[in-house]
Amino acid sequence: MSTASQNNEFETSTGVLWDDPEAGQTWLVSLIGIIILTAVVIALSVMYFKTEQTEVDLKVIEPQYTALEDLKLKQMELLGSSGSYSLDIAGKPVERQRIPVAEAIKLVAQNSALTVPPASASKPRAAASAPAAPAAAAPAPKPAAVAVPVIAPADAATAQK
């Protein structure tokens, strides 16, 4: 048999049994637990998605293409160097000379025959203002050929692609 005390304890032959906890305390502990659990879940989600975005940036958006970087370095070296190379034009090998870009700019600036006239200078103004009888116009002078540096691929596998 058991008897109840003033502290909501039941005394039995096996010992003291406690009564149910107060409802207010149960609600308070439950709400605190739910708030902590929600904060932990949100923090883990933020860390996961931030890590996922970092990995996508590293592996997809900004990958290191070493083959392309090497090819670019070789091409930049060719632009700054001089030498000869040969092309196969209509089945005949043609020997060409390559000069640095800075030197080519200086040569074009020094030689006015290498410059191309502006588009507005191609129409004579006298012919446009007087629509007289057609006269035999002299052909426009052709600009001198300028050797443009051609970058040859470093190996045969790159040339076929």
**pTM, 2 dp:** 0.33
Quote the Cα angle for 59-63-65, to 5°. 145
Q: Where are the domains of the chain?
A: 21-63, 66-112
Rounded CA gap, 104 and 132, in Å?
43
Per-residue confidence band for 32, with pLDDT thresholds at 50, 70 and 90: very high
Rounded CA gap, 57 and 34, in Å?
35
Residue with tokens 């010992």: 15
Rounded CA gap, 116 and 143, in Å?
6
Residue-wise pLDDT for 125-158, tens only, equals 555 455 555 555 555 555 555 555 555 555 544 4
